[in-house]
Amino acid sequence: MIVALIIACEVGFWVLLALGLAVRYLLNWRRTSVVLLLCEPVLELVLFAATAVDLRNGAEPGWEHGLAALYIGYTVAYGHYTIRWLDGHAAHRLGGAPKPAGAPRYGMARARHEARLWLRTLLAAAVACGLLQGAVWYVGDEGDISSLRAFQWTALRAAGIHGLVALAYFVWPKKAPAGAGEESGPALTKEGVR
């Protein structure tokens, strides 16, 4: 049940996002698009509640509960970032706005960009570990919590590996090809969803 709900939440995320951007740029219904985009976090709340109910009803903690926590953590950390990125591209393609600035490709600007992405991954891991720790306390000594602990280590390993990759951009910054500037494009703007 939990795996099907995770899939449904992922599909629902993209459907709500597509609908929200379509009504914003094709129909010019800004308020409706905001309502659709604000429904995105509801999907994670439904998944969280279903996971808690599943555990409360005596389900043995398993990999699906750990996967649900990782999914929620990822969506909390990267959901708004993804929506903002796609909104910029939809505004360009459908709304006639200028092409959005891309991520820097070279030098310390790229390293700073990678560091900001790593901070998002760190947030995702913290949320997932917090949810998993809550599940561990909820289950208590009565159930097998090894799979929940394993997913905590998975989240920490992912954050650690991403941190090493981000650090590599600082230690060995990518050099621009001859004739190109320090970056191929300006850094991402801080505009939110319009």
- Indicate the pLDDT class of residue 181, thresholds 50, 70 and 90: low
Measured torsion, CA atoms of residues 91, 97, 99, 102, in degrees rounded to the nearest 10: -60
- Indicate the pLDDT class of residue 180, thresholds 50, 70 and 90: low
- Indicate the pLDDT class of residue 74, thresholds 50, 70 and 90: very high
pLDDT digits (tens, 9 = 90+) for 91-117: 999 888 899 988 999 999 999 999 999
Q: CB-based contacts of 154: which residues, under 8 Å, 6+ apart?
A: 66, 70
Query: How much of the chain, in percent, has pLDDT values that exceed 90?
Result: 64
Question: 3-class SS at 43?
Answer: helix
pLDDT digits (tens, 9 = 90+) for 41-67: 899 899 998 998 888 888 888 899 999
- Rounded to the nearest integer, the mean pLDDT of the chain is 88
pLDDT of residue 153: 97
Average pLDDT value for residue range 133-162: 90
Distance between CA atoms of 126 and 90, rounded to whole angstroms?
Answer: 31
pLDDT of residue 174: 86
Q: CB-based contacts of 55: which residues, under 8 Å, 6+ apart?
A: 61, 65, 135, 138, 139
- Greatest Cα pair distance, the chain, in angstroms, is 65
